[in-house]
Amino acid sequence: MANLKEVKNRIKSVTSTQQITKAMKMVAAAKLRRAQDAILQMRPYAQKLTSIINNVSSTSDEGTTTPYAEVREINSVLIVVASSDRGLCGGFNSSSFKHAKVVIAEKYAGLDVTIMPIGKKAYEHFKKRGYRLIADHSRLFEKLNFDGARAAAEHAMKGFETKQFDVVEIVYNEFKNVATQVVQNEQFLPIKQVATEGANATEDYIFQPNREEIFTQIIPNSLKIQFYKTLLESNASEHGARMTAMDKATENADELLKELRLTYNRTRQAAITKEILEIVGGAEALAKG
């Protein structure tokens, strides 16, 4: 059995850890509120815009095509992996990395694969494992904003347009609620074509100012918005995962403290009993002497 000093030091250590986890939970909760508001406001707009652009690109005629919808033989692939900059967020990062590797193994095995990590943890993970990286945007989450997301999106779009990459996919955690984040992989480029029904496909659209303007300006902008939306999803998911992880860690620390205090009391009682027995034994020996 451990002595009193060891148990007391352990209680002090666990108590300090519990205070840290409580503080981290509160910080994560505050950040989550802002991140959740941002993604809930962005999500409907981004989803509707993406749906419209996909339909418009699928109904384009030969004179008004967009290079971002070109489907070609796949030889080189860019995988954008969103992670966090810091740990202590449960399985948030590991699930993204595992999913990215499954996508590579099942869909792009034997092809030329490049990783664009968004987040320090993704950069460190894939660099350590020898993947080819585009590390220019790995620190984007230090100050997440549309300008940073736009730069990363333009990098991927330029690579696709110049045929450096034949397909671009994004792996990220989709935010459901505080306790649930679902890993997703979405095809960013080429733009997915939506099935249409012949001549009736274009009757629902009025192009203003004109079809060419839409394809040259609106589609690239919508892709950047879509990219930013996935990063907002990942950011909210990170804070939700960290809040959940720190809440669980606080609960575990509380349970451990209960066990340690019980052990401390038992050890203390055993020490007192031993001292009493020693005193009684000494008194009896003196009496016999």
Q: What is the pLDDT of residues 98-139, one digit of tens each?
A: 999 999 999 999 899 999 999 999 999 999 999 999 999 999
Specify the range with the lowest mean pLDDT, choosing from 43-52, 147-156, 194-203, 237-246. 194-203
Q: What is the mean pLDDT of the chain?
A: 87
Query: How far does CA 160 lie from the centroid of its chain?
Result: 24
Q: What is the pTM of this model?
A: 0.83
What pLDDT sits at residue 133? Answer: 95
Query: Is there a single domain that holds both residue 135 and residue 225?
Result: yes
> 261 and 155: one domain?
no
Render pLDDT for 246-256 as a digit per residue (tens, 0 to 9).
999 999 999 99
What 8-state DSSP symbol labels residue 218? I
**Are 13 and 101 members of one domain?**
no
Using alpha carbons, select from 196, 168, 195, 173 the residue that is nearest to residue 183.
173
Domain shared by 117 and 196, yes or no: yes
pLDDT value of residue 200 = 44
Q: Are both 200 and 232 inside the same structural domain?
A: yes
Q: How far apart are CA 86 and CA 120, in angstroms?
A: 7
Same domain, 36 and 96: yes
When pLDDT is cut at 50, 70 and 90, the band that residue 57 belongs to is low
Q: Is residue 167 part of a domain?
A: yes
pLDDT at 4: 83
| 192 shares its domain with 268 | no
In a domain, 288, yes or no: no
Q: How many CA atoms lie within 13 A of 99 on its CB side?
A: 23
- Compute the radius of gyration of the chain from its Cα atoms: 29
Range of the domain at 258: 4-21+246-277
Let me know if residue 186 belongs to a domain.
yes
Regarding beta strands 180-189 and 167-177, do their DSSP bridges make them parallel or antiparallel, or are they unpaired?
A: antiparallel
263 and 165 share one domain: no
Percent composition of the chain: helix, strand, coil (DSSP 3-state, to 5): 65, 15, 20
Tell me the one-letter amino acid at 180: T
The per-residue pLDDT for 202 is 46
Residues annotated as part of the active site? 89
Q: How many domains does the chain have?
A: 2
